[in-house]
Chains A and B, each alone.
Chain A
Amino acid sequence: MNDLISSHGALIAEGFLGTMRVVAIGFVSGALAGAVLGAIACGRADWARMLVRCYVEVIRNTPFLVQASLIFALFGVAGVRVSTMALGTAAVALYTAAYMAEIVRGAYRALPAGQSDAARALGLGRMARLRKVIVPQLLPAVIPGAANLVATVTKESAFLAALSVAELTFAGQVAISQTFRVFEIWAIVGALYLVLILSLLGIAARLERGLVWARAQQQRR
Protein backbone atom coordinates (compact mmCIF):
# COMPACT_ATOMS: atom_id res chain seq x y z
CA MET A 1 0.00 0.00 0.00
CA ASN A 2 2.75 2.46 0.94
CA ASP A 3 4.77 1.72 -2.16
CA LEU A 4 1.64 2.22 -4.24
CA ILE A 5 1.02 5.62 -2.69
CA SER A 6 4.60 6.74 -3.24
CA SER A 7 4.62 5.53 -6.86
CA HIS A 8 1.09 6.42 -7.98
CA GLY A 9 -0.19 8.74 -5.26
CA ALA A 10 0.56 11.82 -7.35
CA LEU A 11 -1.32 10.38 -10.34
CA ILE A 12 -4.40 9.61 -8.22
CA ALA A 13 -4.23 13.02 -6.53
CA GLU A 14 -4.09 14.66 -9.95
CA GLY A 15 -7.16 12.65 -10.96
CA PHE A 16 -8.94 13.78 -7.82
CA LEU A 17 -8.17 17.40 -8.72
CA GLY A 18 -9.37 16.66 -12.25
CA THR A 19 -12.73 15.47 -10.92
CA MET A 20 -12.97 18.54 -8.69
CA ARG A 21 -12.18 20.78 -11.66
CA VAL A 22 -14.66 19.14 -14.06
CA VAL A 23 -17.38 19.25 -11.42
CA ALA A 24 -16.62 22.76 -10.14
CA ILE A 25 -16.39 24.49 -13.51
CA GLY A 26 -19.12 22.38 -15.11
CA PHE A 27 -21.48 22.74 -12.18
CA VAL A 28 -21.07 26.49 -11.65
CA SER A 29 -21.50 27.37 -15.32
CA GLY A 30 -24.34 24.86 -15.65
CA ALA A 31 -26.09 26.13 -12.53
CA LEU A 32 -25.96 29.72 -13.78
CA ALA A 33 -27.36 28.67 -17.15
CA GLY A 34 -29.95 26.55 -15.33
CA ALA A 35 -31.07 29.52 -13.23
CA VAL A 36 -31.67 31.48 -16.44
CA LEU A 37 -33.51 28.51 -18.00
CA GLY A 38 -35.56 28.17 -14.82
CA ALA A 39 -36.49 31.85 -14.96
CA ILE A 40 -37.61 31.38 -18.58
CA ALA A 41 -39.61 28.30 -17.55
CA CYS A 42 -41.48 30.48 -15.01
CA GLY A 43 -41.92 33.32 -17.50
CA ARG A 44 -44.75 34.24 -19.84
CA ALA A 45 -43.23 33.63 -23.28
CA ASP A 46 -44.90 30.36 -24.36
CA TRP A 47 -42.47 29.44 -27.13
CA ALA A 48 -39.44 30.02 -24.87
CA ARG A 49 -41.07 27.96 -22.14
CA MET A 50 -41.67 25.12 -24.59
CA LEU A 51 -38.03 25.21 -25.74
CA VAL A 52 -36.76 25.02 -22.14
CA ARG A 53 -39.26 22.22 -21.40
CA CYS A 54 -37.95 20.21 -24.38
CA TYR A 55 -34.34 20.72 -23.35
CA VAL A 56 -35.04 19.69 -19.76
CA GLU A 57 -36.99 16.59 -20.81
CA VAL A 58 -34.28 15.47 -23.25
CA ILE A 59 -31.52 15.78 -20.65
CA ARG A 60 -33.55 14.26 -17.82
CA ASN A 61 -34.64 11.29 -19.93
CA THR A 62 -31.29 10.19 -21.34
CA PRO A 63 -28.27 8.70 -19.54
CA PHE A 64 -25.32 11.00 -18.81
CA LEU A 65 -22.83 8.74 -20.62
CA VAL A 66 -24.93 8.93 -23.79
CA GLN A 67 -25.14 12.74 -23.57
CA ALA A 68 -21.40 13.04 -23.06
CA SER A 69 -20.65 10.59 -25.91
CA LEU A 70 -22.88 12.63 -28.22
CA ILE A 71 -21.02 15.83 -27.37
CA PHE A 72 -17.71 14.12 -28.06
CA ALA A 73 -19.04 12.69 -31.34
CA LEU A 74 -20.45 16.05 -32.45
CA PHE A 75 -17.12 17.79 -31.95
CA GLY A 76 -15.32 14.90 -33.65
CA VAL A 77 -17.57 15.01 -36.71
CA ALA A 78 -17.29 18.80 -36.90
CA GLY A 79 -13.52 18.39 -36.82
CA VAL A 80 -13.13 20.84 -33.96
CA ARG A 81 -10.24 19.82 -31.74
CA VAL A 82 -10.98 20.53 -28.09
CA SER A 83 -9.43 18.87 -25.03
CA THR A 84 -11.39 15.96 -23.55
CA MET A 85 -11.35 17.90 -20.28
CA ALA A 86 -13.20 20.82 -21.91
CA LEU A 87 -15.74 18.50 -23.55
CA GLY A 88 -16.32 16.62 -20.28
CA THR A 89 -16.84 19.91 -18.49
CA ALA A 90 -19.33 20.97 -21.16
CA ALA A 91 -21.23 17.69 -20.69
CA VAL A 92 -21.43 18.30 -16.94
CA ALA A 93 -22.62 21.88 -17.54
CA LEU A 94 -25.37 20.85 -19.96
CA TYR A 95 -26.56 18.15 -17.55
CA THR A 96 -26.49 20.50 -14.55
CA ALA A 97 -28.39 23.24 -16.40
CA ALA A 98 -31.42 21.02 -17.04
CA TYR A 99 -31.71 19.72 -13.46
CA MET A 100 -31.08 23.20 -12.06
CA ALA A 101 -33.85 24.64 -14.23
CA GLU A 102 -36.21 22.02 -12.74
CA ILE A 103 -35.16 22.92 -9.19
CA VAL A 104 -35.78 26.62 -9.82
CA ARG A 105 -39.12 25.96 -11.51
CA GLY A 106 -40.23 23.67 -8.68
CA ALA A 107 -39.30 26.27 -6.06
CA TYR A 108 -41.13 29.00 -7.99
CA ARG A 109 -44.28 26.92 -8.33
CA ALA A 110 -44.28 26.29 -4.59
CA LEU A 111 -44.47 30.05 -3.91
CA PRO A 112 -47.95 31.32 -3.03
CA ALA A 113 -49.32 33.32 -5.98
CA GLY A 114 -50.22 36.13 -3.57
CA GLN A 115 -46.54 37.02 -3.11
CA SER A 116 -46.17 38.36 -6.62
CA ASP A 117 -49.55 40.12 -6.50
CA ALA A 118 -48.81 41.72 -3.13
CA ALA A 119 -45.43 42.98 -4.37
CA ARG A 120 -47.15 44.46 -7.42
CA ALA A 121 -49.79 46.08 -5.20
CA LEU A 122 -46.99 47.70 -3.22
CA GLY A 123 -45.89 49.32 -6.46
CA LEU A 124 -42.62 47.41 -6.79
CA GLY A 125 -41.18 47.25 -10.31
CA ARG A 126 -40.39 44.03 -12.13
CA MET A 127 -36.75 43.91 -11.03
CA ALA A 128 -37.50 44.96 -7.46
CA ARG A 129 -40.19 42.27 -7.25
CA LEU A 130 -37.74 39.63 -8.31
CA ARG A 131 -34.85 40.87 -6.20
CA LYS A 132 -36.68 41.67 -2.97
CA VAL A 133 -39.63 39.28 -2.93
CA ILE A 134 -39.31 36.31 -5.27
CA VAL A 135 -35.61 35.34 -5.24
CA PRO A 136 -35.12 35.52 -1.44
CA GLN A 137 -38.02 33.12 -1.05
CA LEU A 138 -36.73 30.75 -3.72
CA LEU A 139 -33.29 30.36 -2.14
CA PRO A 140 -34.31 28.15 0.81
CA ALA A 141 -35.58 25.55 -1.67
CA VAL A 142 -32.98 26.08 -4.40
CA ILE A 143 -29.79 25.98 -2.32
CA PRO A 144 -30.22 22.53 -0.73
CA GLY A 145 -31.44 21.21 -4.09
CA ALA A 146 -28.31 22.59 -5.74
CA ALA A 147 -26.08 21.03 -3.06
CA ASN A 148 -27.69 17.63 -3.66
CA LEU A 149 -27.23 18.16 -7.38
CA VAL A 150 -23.46 18.73 -6.96
CA ALA A 151 -23.24 15.33 -5.25
CA THR A 152 -25.20 13.66 -8.08
CA VAL A 153 -23.07 15.37 -10.72
CA THR A 154 -19.88 14.24 -8.97
CA LYS A 155 -21.12 10.65 -9.12
CA GLU A 156 -22.10 10.96 -12.80
CA SER A 157 -18.72 12.52 -13.66
CA ALA A 158 -17.09 9.11 -13.14
CA PHE A 159 -18.66 8.07 -16.46
CA LEU A 160 -16.32 10.54 -18.17
CA ALA A 161 -13.46 8.06 -17.68
CA ALA A 162 -14.99 6.08 -20.55
CA LEU A 163 -14.27 9.10 -22.76
CA SER A 164 -10.66 9.51 -21.52
CA VAL A 165 -11.29 12.66 -19.50
CA ALA A 166 -8.42 12.97 -17.01
CA GLU A 167 -10.48 12.63 -13.85
CA LEU A 168 -10.30 10.32 -10.83
CA THR A 169 -11.73 7.13 -12.34
CA PHE A 170 -9.54 7.52 -15.41
CA ALA A 171 -6.49 8.03 -13.19
CA GLY A 172 -7.45 4.78 -11.44
CA GLN A 173 -7.56 2.95 -14.79
CA VAL A 174 -4.15 4.34 -15.75
CA ALA A 175 -2.66 3.36 -12.38
CA ILE A 176 -4.08 -0.17 -12.74
CA SER A 177 -2.68 -0.57 -16.26
CA GLN A 178 0.77 0.21 -14.82
CA THR A 179 0.62 -1.75 -11.57
CA PHE A 180 -2.10 -4.45 -11.92
CA ARG A 181 -3.04 -3.71 -8.28
CA VAL A 182 -6.70 -3.83 -9.20
CA PHE A 183 -8.49 -4.08 -5.87
CA GLU A 184 -6.32 -1.66 -3.92
CA ILE A 185 -6.58 1.07 -6.52
CA TRP A 186 -10.37 0.83 -6.90
CA ALA A 187 -10.65 0.83 -3.10
CA ILE A 188 -8.54 4.00 -2.84
CA VAL A 189 -10.42 5.69 -5.69
CA GLY A 190 -13.74 4.64 -4.14
CA ALA A 191 -12.72 6.00 -0.73
CA LEU A 192 -11.80 9.35 -2.29
CA TYR A 193 -15.18 9.59 -4.04
CA LEU A 194 -16.91 8.56 -0.83
CA VAL A 195 -15.27 11.33 1.18
CA LEU A 196 -16.01 13.94 -1.48
CA ILE A 197 -19.64 12.95 -2.12
CA LEU A 198 -20.61 12.33 1.50
CA SER A 199 -19.16 15.74 2.43
CA LEU A 200 -21.30 17.33 -0.28
CA LEU A 201 -24.39 15.44 0.89
CA GLY A 202 -23.61 16.43 4.49
CA ILE A 203 -23.43 20.08 3.49
CA ALA A 204 -26.73 19.69 1.61
CA ALA A 205 -28.42 18.20 4.68
CA ARG A 206 -27.07 20.97 6.92
CA LEU A 207 -28.26 23.65 4.51
CA GLU A 208 -31.68 22.06 4.40
CA ARG A 209 -31.95 22.01 8.18
CA GLY A 210 -30.40 25.45 8.60
CA LEU A 211 -32.63 27.08 6.05
CA VAL A 212 -35.77 25.44 7.38
CA TRP A 213 -34.82 26.72 10.82
CA ALA A 214 -34.11 30.23 9.46
CA ARG A 215 -37.50 30.26 7.76
CA ALA A 216 -39.24 29.22 10.98
CA GLN A 217 -37.48 32.07 12.78
CA GLN A 218 -38.60 34.54 10.15
CA GLN A 219 -42.20 33.44 10.47
CA ARG A 220 -42.08 33.68 14.22
CA ARG A 221 -41.01 37.32 14.06
Chain B
Amino acid sequence: MDLATRVAATLPLLLDGLWTTLVICTASMVMAVVMAVPLVAARRSRHRWIAGLAIGWVGLIRGLPIVILVLLMYFGLPALLDFGRVPAFWVGVVALGLNGGAFVSEILRAAIARVPPGQWEAAAALGLSRVSVWRLVVIPQMLPVALPALVGEATFIVKASPVLSLITVVDLTRRSQQVAMQTFDPLAPMLAAALLYFVVLFALSRLAAVLEARLAPQGLAA
Protein backbone atom coordinates (compact mmCIF):
# COMPACT_ATOMS: atom_id res chain seq x y z
CA MET B 1 0.00 0.00 0.00
CA ASP B 2 1.30 3.44 -0.75
CA LEU B 3 1.51 6.11 1.88
CA ALA B 4 -1.59 8.08 0.86
CA THR B 5 -3.79 4.96 1.10
CA ARG B 6 -2.31 4.10 4.49
CA VAL B 7 -2.96 7.62 5.77
CA ALA B 8 -6.54 7.45 4.50
CA ALA B 9 -6.98 4.04 6.12
CA THR B 10 -5.82 5.27 9.55
CA LEU B 11 -7.95 8.43 9.56
CA PRO B 12 -11.12 6.70 10.88
CA LEU B 13 -9.10 5.09 13.68
CA LEU B 14 -8.09 8.54 14.94
CA LEU B 15 -11.54 10.11 15.14
CA ASP B 16 -12.08 9.32 18.84
CA GLY B 17 -8.70 10.89 19.58
CA LEU B 18 -9.69 13.96 17.59
CA TRP B 19 -12.93 14.14 19.56
CA THR B 20 -11.01 14.01 22.89
CA THR B 21 -8.68 16.76 21.67
CA LEU B 22 -11.63 18.95 20.69
CA VAL B 23 -13.40 18.38 24.02
CA ILE B 24 -10.20 19.18 25.95
CA CYS B 25 -9.56 22.34 23.95
CA THR B 26 -13.13 23.59 24.29
CA ALA B 27 -13.14 22.99 28.04
CA SER B 28 -9.69 24.62 28.35
CA MET B 29 -10.78 27.67 26.37
CA VAL B 30 -13.84 28.12 28.61
CA MET B 31 -11.61 27.72 31.66
CA ALA B 32 -9.11 30.21 30.22
CA VAL B 33 -11.80 32.89 29.85
CA VAL B 34 -13.18 32.14 33.31
CA MET B 35 -9.69 32.49 34.83
CA ALA B 36 -8.89 35.59 32.82
CA VAL B 37 -11.72 37.69 34.29
CA PRO B 38 -10.41 37.79 37.89
CA LEU B 39 -6.89 38.39 36.51
CA VAL B 40 -8.11 41.43 34.57
CA ALA B 41 -10.00 42.66 37.63
CA ALA B 42 -6.86 42.22 39.76
CA ARG B 43 -4.77 44.16 37.24
CA ARG B 44 -7.26 47.04 37.48
CA SER B 45 -7.32 46.95 41.28
CA ARG B 46 -6.44 50.09 43.23
CA HIS B 47 -4.35 48.00 45.60
CA ARG B 48 -0.87 47.81 44.13
CA TRP B 49 -0.10 44.44 45.67
CA ILE B 50 -3.14 42.79 44.10
CA ALA B 51 -2.17 44.15 40.69
CA GLY B 52 1.40 43.01 41.39
CA LEU B 53 0.23 39.48 42.14
CA ALA B 54 -1.61 39.32 38.83
CA ILE B 55 1.45 40.64 36.97
CA GLY B 56 3.65 38.06 38.71
CA TRP B 57 1.25 35.25 37.86
CA VAL B 58 1.12 36.19 34.17
CA GLY B 59 4.94 36.42 34.12
CA LEU B 60 5.24 32.99 35.74
CA ILE B 61 2.93 31.43 33.16
CA ARG B 62 4.66 33.19 30.26
CA GLY B 63 8.04 31.88 31.40
CA LEU B 64 7.07 28.25 32.03
CA PRO B 65 6.79 25.69 29.21
CA ILE B 66 3.35 24.06 29.17
CA VAL B 67 5.10 20.69 29.32
CA ILE B 68 6.61 21.56 32.71
CA LEU B 69 3.34 23.03 34.01
CA VAL B 70 1.51 19.81 33.16
CA LEU B 71 4.20 17.49 34.55
CA LEU B 72 4.39 19.59 37.71
CA MET B 73 0.63 19.46 38.20
CA TYR B 74 0.15 15.80 37.29
CA PHE B 75 3.21 14.23 38.93
CA GLY B 76 4.73 16.92 41.16
CA LEU B 77 1.79 18.27 43.15
CA PRO B 78 0.25 14.89 44.08
CA ALA B 79 3.71 13.75 45.23
CA LEU B 80 4.15 16.89 47.32
CA LEU B 81 0.68 16.90 48.87
CA ASP B 82 0.61 13.13 49.13
CA PHE B 83 -2.71 12.42 47.48
CA GLY B 84 -2.85 9.48 45.10
CA ARG B 85 -3.78 9.63 41.45
CA VAL B 86 -5.46 12.67 39.97
CA PRO B 87 -7.54 12.39 36.78
CA ALA B 88 -5.19 13.21 33.91
CA PHE B 89 -7.96 14.66 31.76
CA TRP B 90 -8.90 17.31 34.30
CA VAL B 91 -5.30 18.11 35.20
CA GLY B 92 -4.75 18.71 31.51
CA VAL B 93 -7.79 20.94 31.17
CA VAL B 94 -6.84 22.97 34.24
CA ALA B 95 -3.22 23.31 33.09
CA LEU B 96 -4.19 24.41 29.58
CA GLY B 97 -6.81 26.70 31.14
CA LEU B 98 -4.32 28.28 33.56
CA ASN B 99 -1.89 28.78 30.72
CA GLY B 100 -4.51 30.19 28.35
CA GLY B 101 -6.06 32.33 31.10
CA ALA B 102 -2.89 34.38 31.48
CA PHE B 103 -2.83 35.14 27.76
CA VAL B 104 -6.59 35.79 27.55
CA SER B 105 -6.28 38.28 30.42
CA GLU B 106 -3.72 40.22 28.35
CA ILE B 107 -6.07 40.14 25.34
CA LEU B 108 -9.00 41.44 27.40
CA ARG B 109 -6.86 44.11 29.03
CA ALA B 110 -5.67 45.35 25.64
CA ALA B 111 -9.26 45.37 24.34
CA ILE B 112 -10.49 47.37 27.35
CA ALA B 113 -7.64 49.84 26.84
CA ARG B 114 -8.88 50.43 23.30
CA VAL B 115 -12.24 51.77 24.55
CA PRO B 116 -11.75 55.56 24.45
CA PRO B 117 -11.75 57.27 27.88
CA GLY B 118 -14.57 59.54 26.69
CA GLN B 119 -16.87 56.52 26.60
CA TRP B 120 -16.33 55.90 30.32
CA GLU B 121 -16.86 59.56 31.14
CA ALA B 122 -19.98 59.77 28.99
CA ALA B 123 -21.38 56.65 30.63
CA ALA B 124 -20.68 58.09 34.08
CA ALA B 125 -22.26 61.41 33.05
CA LEU B 126 -25.40 59.55 32.01
CA GLY B 127 -25.56 58.18 35.54
CA LEU B 128 -25.15 54.55 34.53
CA SER B 129 -24.37 52.13 37.32
CA ARG B 130 -21.04 50.28 37.36
CA VAL B 131 -22.66 47.13 36.02
CA SER B 132 -24.49 49.03 33.28
CA VAL B 133 -21.30 50.79 32.22
CA TRP B 134 -19.68 47.42 31.59
CA ARG B 135 -22.77 45.74 30.12
CA LEU B 136 -23.97 48.55 27.86
CA VAL B 137 -20.84 50.52 27.02
CA VAL B 138 -17.52 48.77 27.55
CA ILE B 139 -18.18 45.11 26.75
CA PRO B 140 -20.02 45.77 23.44
CA GLN B 141 -17.09 47.91 22.32
CA MET B 142 -14.28 45.66 23.50
CA LEU B 143 -15.69 42.40 22.10
CA PRO B 144 -15.04 43.19 18.42
CA VAL B 145 -11.43 43.94 19.33
CA ALA B 146 -11.01 40.89 21.57
CA LEU B 147 -12.84 38.25 19.53
CA PRO B 148 -10.28 37.65 16.73
CA ALA B 149 -7.49 37.47 19.32
CA LEU B 150 -9.53 35.02 21.41
CA VAL B 151 -9.95 32.73 18.40
CA GLY B 152 -6.19 33.09 17.89
CA GLU B 153 -5.66 32.02 21.49
CA ALA B 154 -7.82 28.95 20.81
CA THR B 155 -5.33 27.92 18.11
CA PHE B 156 -2.52 28.15 20.69
CA ILE B 157 -4.47 25.89 23.02
CA VAL B 158 -5.00 23.32 20.24
CA LYS B 159 -1.28 23.45 19.40
CA ALA B 160 -0.34 22.97 23.06
CA SER B 161 -2.88 20.18 23.65
CA PRO B 162 -0.60 17.27 22.58
CA VAL B 163 1.05 17.87 25.96
CA LEU B 164 -1.78 15.75 27.39
CA SER B 165 -0.41 12.75 25.50
CA LEU B 166 2.51 12.91 27.97
CA ILE B 167 0.17 12.23 30.91
CA THR B 168 -1.73 9.24 29.50
CA VAL B 169 -4.70 11.13 28.01
CA VAL B 170 -5.63 9.43 24.74
CA ASP B 171 -5.90 12.56 22.61
CA LEU B 172 -5.25 12.75 18.88
CA THR B 173 -1.47 12.57 19.30
CA ARG B 174 -1.50 9.58 21.66
CA ARG B 175 -4.16 7.79 19.63
CA SER B 176 -1.93 8.05 16.56
CA GLN B 177 0.99 6.65 18.57
CA GLN B 178 -1.19 3.72 19.65
CA VAL B 179 -2.27 3.03 16.08
CA ALA B 180 1.39 3.23 15.01
CA MET B 181 2.26 0.55 17.59
CA GLN B 182 -0.59 -1.71 16.48
CA THR B 183 0.09 -1.43 12.75
CA PHE B 184 3.91 -1.32 12.94
CA ASP B 185 3.72 1.79 10.77
CA PRO B 186 5.35 4.79 12.47
CA LEU B 187 4.67 7.22 9.64
CA ALA B 188 1.09 7.00 8.32
CA PRO B 189 -0.81 7.42 11.64
CA MET B 190 1.28 10.44 12.63
CA LEU B 191 0.77 11.96 9.16
CA ALA B 192 -2.96 11.37 9.48
CA ALA B 193 -2.94 13.08 12.90
CA ALA B 194 -1.00 16.02 11.44
CA LEU B 195 -3.63 16.29 8.70
CA LEU B 196 -6.47 16.39 11.24
CA TYR B 197 -4.67 18.99 13.39
CA PHE B 198 -4.08 21.03 10.24
CA VAL B 199 -7.77 21.00 9.29
CA VAL B 200 -8.83 22.18 12.77
CA LEU B 201 -6.10 24.81 13.12
CA PHE B 202 -6.39 26.12 9.58
CA ALA B 203 -10.15 26.55 10.01
CA LEU B 204 -9.61 28.40 13.31
CA SER B 205 -6.94 30.71 11.90
CA ARG B 206 -9.13 31.50 8.86
CA LEU B 207 -11.98 32.28 11.26
CA ALA B 208 -9.69 34.61 13.23
CA ALA B 209 -8.67 36.38 10.00
CA VAL B 210 -12.29 36.74 8.83
CA LEU B 211 -13.41 38.06 12.22
CA GLU B 212 -10.56 40.54 12.24
CA ALA B 213 -11.44 41.82 8.76
CA ARG B 214 -15.18 42.00 9.51
CA LEU B 215 -15.08 43.47 12.99
CA ALA B 216 -12.16 45.88 12.95
CA PRO B 217 -13.44 48.64 10.62
CA GLN B 218 -16.82 49.00 12.32
CA GLY B 219 -15.19 48.85 15.72
CA LEU B 220 -13.40 51.78 17.20
CA ALA B 221 -12.05 54.67 15.23
CA ALA B 222 -9.19 55.15 17.67
Q: Tell whether A and B belong to one assembly.
A: yes
The number of residue pairs between A and B whose CB atoms lie closer than 8 Å in the complex comes to 110
A198 within 8 A of B: yes
When distances are taken between beta carbons in the complex, the residues of chain A under 8 Å from B222 are none
B205 within 8 A of A: yes
Looking at B58-66, B100-108, B139-147, the stretch in contact with chain A turns out to be B58-66
> In whole angstroms, how far apart are the Cα atoms of A60 and B201 in the complex?
9
Total contacting residues, chain B, CB less than 8 A? 40
> In whole angstroms, how far apart are the Cα atoms of A183 and B194 in the complex?
33
User: B203 — nearest CB in chain A belongs to which residue?
Assistant: A61
A194 within 8 A of B: yes
> In whole angstroms, how far apart are the Cα atoms of A67 and B201 in the complex?
14
| Contact residue among A60, A65, A69, A193 (Cβ-Cβ distance under 8 Å from B68) | A193
* CB<8 Å pairs between A and B, sample of 9: A61-B202, A63-B161, A70-B187, A70-B190, A156-B65, A158-B67, A169-B71, A187-B72, A193-B63
- Please state if B162 and A66 are interface contacts (CB–CB under 8 Å): yes
| Contact residue among B69, B180, B197, B202 (Cβ-Cβ distance under 8 Å from A66) | B197
Give the shortest distance, in Å, between A163 (CB) and chain B (any CB).
11
- Please state if A194 and B193 are interface contacts (CB–CB under 8 Å): no
| Contact residue among B77, B160, B166 (Cβ-Cβ distance under 8 Å from A63) | B160
B186 within 8 A of A: yes
Main secondary structure of the interface of A (DSSP, over half): helix
- Please state if B64 and A183 are interface contacts (CB–CB under 8 Å): no
User: B160 — nearest CB in chain A belongs to which residue?
Assistant: A63
> In whole angstroms, how far apart are the Cα atoms of A49 and B67 in the complex?
34
Task: Pick from A61, A161, A187, A189 the residue with the most CB of B within 10 Å.
Answer: A61
- Listed in ascending order, the chain A residues whose CB lies under 8 Å from chain B are 57-58, 60-67, 69-70, 73-74, 76-77, 154-159, 161-162, 169, 172, 176, 182-183, 186-187, 189-190, 193-195, 197-198, 201
User: A155 — nearest CB in chain B belongs to which residue?
Assistant: B65
Give the shortest distance, in Å, between B56 (CB) and chain A (any CB).
11
- Please state if A76 and B62 are interface contacts (CB–CB under 8 Å): no
> In whole angstroms, how far apart are the Cα atoms of A73 and B173 in the complex?
14
Interface membership of chain B positions 33-62, coded 1 if the CB is closer than 8 angstroms to chain A and 0 otherwise: 000000000000000000000000001101
- Listed in ascending order, the chain B residues whose CB lies under 8 Å from chain A are 59-60, 62-69, 71-72, 75-77, 79-80, 155, 158-163, 165-166, 173, 177, 180, 186-187, 190-191, 193-194, 197-198, 201-202, 205
Task: Pick from B62, B67, B205 the residue with the most CB of A within 10 Å.
Answer: B67
Knowing A70-B191, A159-B163, A189-B68 are in contact, say whether A62-B197 is a contact too (CB < 8 A): yes
- Please state if A61 and B62 are interface contacts (CB–CB under 8 Å): no
Give the shortest distance, in Å, between A10 (CB) and chain B (any CB).
20
Give the shortest distance, in Å, between A78 (CB) and chain B (any CB).
10
- Please state if B198 and A65 are interface contacts (CB–CB under 8 Å): no
Going nearest first, the 8 A-B pairs with the smallest beta carbon separation are A158-B67, A182-B79, A61-B201, A158-B65, A183-B80, A155-B65, A198-B63, A186-B76
Give the shortest distance, in Å, between A67 (CB) and chain B (any CB).
8
